[in-house]
Chain A
Amino acid sequence: MDDLRQTIRDYVIKEYVEEGDETEIELQTPLISGGIVDSFSMVSLKRFLEKKYDIQIPDDEATPEAFDNVERIAALVERIRQG
């Protein structure tokens, strides 16, 4: 797992997984469709990514589908960073 993916995964665990919850977060673990992150709480993840990587994620790209697992989120960040 590269740095980007590791950072996103760590944030997801810290921000969304309840203490004592044994949920494993892997690259493909469904976050929103799996009920780990709801669309309401997703906002803090978007803001974290924007701040951390100095990017702007357009609202129409910050969809529940695009944020549904660590791999997809990383791919979105990579694409936006490359312009």
Chain B
Amino acid sequence: MVYSEAIREWYKNELQSIREAGLFKQERYIHAPQSAEIEVEFPEGSKLRRVINLCANNYLGLSSHPDVVRAAHDGLELRGYGMSSVRFICGTQDIHRELEDKLSDFLGTEDTLLFPSCMDANAGVFEAVLTEQDVMIADRLVHASIIDGMRLCRAMQDSFKHSDMGHLEEKLQEHQDRRVRMIITDGVFSMDGDLAKLDEIVKLARQYDAMVFLDDSHATGFIGVTGRGTHEHCGVLGEIDVITTTLGKALGGASGGCVSGRRELVELCRQRARPYLFSNTVAPVIVSGALKVLELITKTTERRDKLEWNTKYWRKLLGEAGFDVRPGDSPIVPVMLYNAKLAQDIARDLYDEGIYVIGFFFPVVPKGQARIRTQLSAAHEQAHLDRAIRAFTKVGKKYDILGKGKKEIVAMYGL
């Protein structure tokens, strides 16, 4: 027997060590469409609880928007359910190309290629466009999928301290002998919610002859006055060489991602990127929904404006209540707790109060920087946030952390 008892024991021990490290992930079952308020079964088998959702990437509240759902239905009727083929054999429909063109228009780029997910886009793009003569210089807090993609690429790897332009400049100077220098950054960093200094990055890129890569998954659709993304916010539309982003967050939240940017780079991905070549692309039903999403958010900025209002309001409420909040402009609002157990305990108590949030701690965030990450949505109404802050305040009082900063919280709970 190949899967022997000894091997089974080994795997059981691996799982046990994940549990003992406090890193065992458990899913919570949601018995409703994704929205601002959801019915959740947790733990498994327990009674359903109606909670306010403050941890989805449903930034524009379009995940269950009736127009998007209707468009998806239409797509299902008109283009069927599946493609049963990769893109370059017989897996490309007219609507796939239409969505790629619409994404290029929206992002202000020359061309776009869809991928099954942004994880796949990041996994495939570097290997497709860089060689061993090149260097990739990444911000140290980029998303895990970028790190995986970089590891699959033969170009030299390097990194710079998070958003430290002086350090980036040193690295650009150090690598002047490489054929291509590619600066790699997220637009909005997923754990801290801060924005890349993209204007300064572009300036350095010009000065040191480098390309710029941007993963704008936590920005596309709502950052910038018309929601184009971090490049719009920073005034560098049209100057980013490669953008990857997702349809799995603000843009309807189903699944799918893309590489968008300079025509030749996108075309090289079409020729070489393995996740594109060897996997079916986004299903027609999702493509139809995403086309509707782009139509909605191009017509009006109402939803991103509401999200911005919600973000400011929520930050104000948390600040007034006395929470230690990471400053920033994005709808990712981290409430700092520093201690991992404290973050987990508070998240659990908030759940009991009807607020769905998650505590994050090492290795997802650096040691001693545990937090609860709250995420706003245009689907939230002011009443949701007012209810949420009452629960946060109640739990904050219980743990006596209101009005306290890092030093005091660490003195009480340790790191």
Give me the interface of A with B, judged by CB distance under 8 Å: 16, 18-19, 34-35, 38, 40-41, 43-44, 47
Contact = CB atoms under 8 A, between A and B. Distances in A.
A61 to B, nearest CB: 18
B158 A40 contact: no
Nearest to A16: B161
Contacts of B366: 35
- Cβ-closest 7 pairs across A and B: A35-B367, A41-B159, A43-B157, A40-B147, A44-B158, A35-B366, A41-B140
A43 B140 CA distance: 12
Contacts of B162: 18
B165 to A, nearest CB: 12
Contacts of A38: 140
A39 B157 CA distance: 12
B278 interface: no
A44 B159 contact: yes
Contact of A34 (B138, B161, B367): B367
Contact of A35 (B138, B161, B362): B362
A63 to B, nearest CB: 15
A64 to B, nearest CB: 12
A18 B140 CA distance: 11
B362 A40 contact: no
21 contacts: A16-B161, A18-B161, A18-B164, A19-B164, A35-B362, A35-B363, A35-B366, A35-B367, A35-B368, A38-B140, A40-B140, A40-B147, A40-B150, A40-B157, A41-B140, A43-B157, A43-B158, A43-B159, A44-B158, A44-B159, A47-B158
Contacts of B147: 40
A47 B156 CA distance: 10
Contacts of B138: 40
Contacts of A47: 156, 158
Contacts of A35: 362-363, 366-368
A52 to B, nearest CB: 13
B46 to A, nearest CB: 34
A31 to B, nearest CB: 12
Interface in B256-307: none
Contact of B159 (A18, A19, A34, A40): A40
